[in-house]
C-alpha cells in the first residue's frame, strides 16, 4: 500500500526565496505547455507530445533572453510540471469516457494562487542528510521536523506551501500491511450531526464542531481582512491570519478523525458504515454542519486503515431504511421527522433510540453483505 507522509519544513529566508523562484518557474512551464496544447486544439492539430514540449519549452527556452532564468532552478522540477499537465489531461479524458468521476479540463495556474507545490524525483538527487535535513538541488539543506520515521525509502518528495504560508515536505512511500491481532467484535456506525458517530454497541461519540467553535475568531479575522485596502501589505498579513485560523480548524478535525478511526479499526474485526450522499446533504440548510463534520474524510480513513491492518470494511446501501426499521423484529415502521429521537416499534413495542437502532440496522446489513461476498468468493 502507498501512503503519504507529510512533515513540516522550515526553510530559511534564502531558501524561501529560492523556493518562490522554483514555484514560479514550474508554473510558467505548466502554463506554456497548456497554452501550446490549447492552441493546437484550436487549430485542429494533434496535441504536442510531452517530449516535444520539454525540448521547446525547457531546453530551447533556457537559451533565450526571455526564459533564461529557467536555468536557475532544477530541471527535474520543470519536467515534473509537464508530467502534471499530462496527468491532468489524462484524468479529464478518462472522466469523459466514464473511467473515473468527471472533472474539468486543465486550467492555467496563477501567481496569485495561495497554494504552491513542486516535486523532486530521484533524478534530482535530493537526499536526507545525517543531520535530518532535506537536501534539495539549488535550494539547499532545509530543516524538517520529523514526527515519525519513514517506513521505507521514498523516490520523490513534494515541497508544498499552503495558504497559511506554512511549508511541508510530502513523501509517498510503500508500506507493508501490519495486521492487528484478530478480534471477534464487529461494529455498525451511524454518522450524524447531534453525535458525530453512534456505534451499534450503544456508544455515542460527541461531535466536536471545530468550525462552529472557531466561528467567532474566524469572523473577527475576516472582518479585519475586509477593512484592509487591496494591494496593501497589511491586507496580505490579514489574509494569512485568516488562512492560519482555517488551517488550525482543519488540522484539529483531521487529528480527531485519525484518532477515532484508528481506535475503531483496532477494536473491531469488521466495520460497516452507511454510504451517505454527502454531496447532496451539502446543498441543504445543514450544509455548514455537514462539511464541518467531515464524514467523507473520516470514512476514507476507515477504509484505508482497514485494508492496512487486516480488517473488513464495507459500505451499506444509502437507501437502507435504517431509521425506520426495528432492529428486533424488522418491522418497517415508516418515516420519522428529525426531531423524533426515540420511538416505539408498532410490531413488538420495543422502545428504540433512533441513532443506536440505526447503527444496529447498519451492522446487520453489513454482515449480510459480507456473507454474500464470502459466498461469491
CB atoms within 10 A of CB 324: 17
For residue 355, which of 342, 364, 346 has the smallest C-alpha distance?
A: 342
Active site residue 355: yes
Q: Which three cell numbers stand for residue 136?
A: 534539495
| Sign of the four-CA dihedral 268, 274, 278, 284 | negative
Q: Which three cell numbers stand for residue 302?
A: 476507515
One DSSP character per residue, 309-366 reads TT-EEEEE-TT--TTTB-TTT--B-----TT--EEE-TTT--EEEHHHHHHHHHHHHH
Task: Name the active-site residue from 186, 274, 292, 303.
Answer: 274
Active site residue 190: yes
> Across the beta sheet with 134-136, what order do the strands follow?
116-120, 157-161, 167-174, 2-10, 140-145, 134-136, 127-128
Task: Name the active-site residue from 32, 84, 186, 355.
Answer: 355
Active site residue 274: yes
Residue 58 in contact with residue 75, Cβ under 8 Å?
A: yes
CA-based Rg of the chain, rounded to a whole angstrom? 25
Residue 319 in contact with residue 274, Cβ under 8 Å?
A: no
Task: Name the active-site residue from 186, 190, 292, 303.
Answer: 190
Distances from the Cα of 202 to the Cαs of 352, 357, 358, in angstroms? 11, 9, 11
Q: Tell me which residues are annotated as active site.
A: 190, 274, 355
Amino acid at each position: 500500500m502507498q501512503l503519504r507522509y507529510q512533515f513540516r519544513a522550515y526553510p530559511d529566508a534564502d531558501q524561501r526565496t529560492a523556493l518562490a523562484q522554483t514555484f514560479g518557474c514550474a508554473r510558467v512551464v505548466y502554463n506554456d505547455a497548456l497554452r501550446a496544447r490549447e492552441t493546437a486544439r484550436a487549430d485542429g492539430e494533434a496535441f504536442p507530445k510531452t517530449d516535444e514540449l520539454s525540448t521547446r519549452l525547457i531546453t530551447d527556452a533556457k537559451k533565450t533572453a526571455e526564459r533564461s532564468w529557467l536555468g536557475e532552478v532544477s530541471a527535474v522540477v520543470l519536467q515534473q510540471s509537464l508530467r502534471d499537465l499530462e496527468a491532468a489531461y489524462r484524468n479529464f479524458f478518462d472522466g469523459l469516457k466514464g473511467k473515473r468521476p468527471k472533472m474539468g479540463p486543465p486550467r492555467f495556474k496563477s501567481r496569485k494562487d495561495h497554494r504552491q507545490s513542486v516535486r523532486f524525483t530521484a533524478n534530482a538527487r535530493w537526499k536526507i542528510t545525517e543531520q535530518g535535513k532535506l537536501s534539495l538541488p539549488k535550494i539547499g539543506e532545509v530543516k524538517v521536523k520529523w514526527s515519525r520515521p519513514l517506513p521505507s525509502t521514498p523516490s520523490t518528495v513534494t515541497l508544498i506551501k499552503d495558504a497559511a504560508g506554512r511549508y511541508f515536505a510530502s513523501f509517498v512511500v510503500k508500506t507493508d500491511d501490519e495486521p492487528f491481532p484478530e478480534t471477534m467484535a464487529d461494529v455498525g456506525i451511524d454518522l450524524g450531526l447531534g453525535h458525530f458517530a453512534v456505534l451499534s454497541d450503544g456508544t455515542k461519540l460527541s461531535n466536536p464542531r471545530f468550525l462552529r467553535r472557531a466561528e467567532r475568531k474566524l469572523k473577527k479575522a475576516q472582518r479585519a481582512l475586509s477593512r484592509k485596502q487591496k494591494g496593501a501589505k497589511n491586507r496580505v498579513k490579514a489574509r494569512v491570519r485568516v488562512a492560519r485560523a482555517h488551517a488550525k480548524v482543519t488540522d484539529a478535525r483531521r487529528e480527531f478523525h485519525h484518532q477515532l478511526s484508528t481506535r475503531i479499526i483496532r477494536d473491531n474485526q469488521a466495520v460497516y458504515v452507511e454510504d451517505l450522499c454527502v454531496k447532496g446533504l451539502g446543498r441543504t440548510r445543514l450544509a455548514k454542519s455537514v462539511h464541518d463534520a467531515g464524514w467523507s474524510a473520516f470514512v476514507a480513513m476507515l477504509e484505508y486503515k482497514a485494508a492496512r491492518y487486516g480488517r473488513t470494511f464495507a459500505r451499506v446501501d444509502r437507501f437502507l431504511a435504517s431509521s425506520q426499521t426495528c432492529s428486533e423484529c424488522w418491522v418497517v415502521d415508516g418515516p420519522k421527522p428529525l426531531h423524533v429521537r426515540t420511538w416505539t416499534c408498532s410490531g413488538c413495542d420495543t422502545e428504540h433510540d433512533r441513532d443506536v437502532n440505526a447503527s444496529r440496522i447498519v451492522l446487520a446489513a453489513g454482515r449480510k453483505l459480507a456473507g454474500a461476498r464470502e459466498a461469491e468468493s
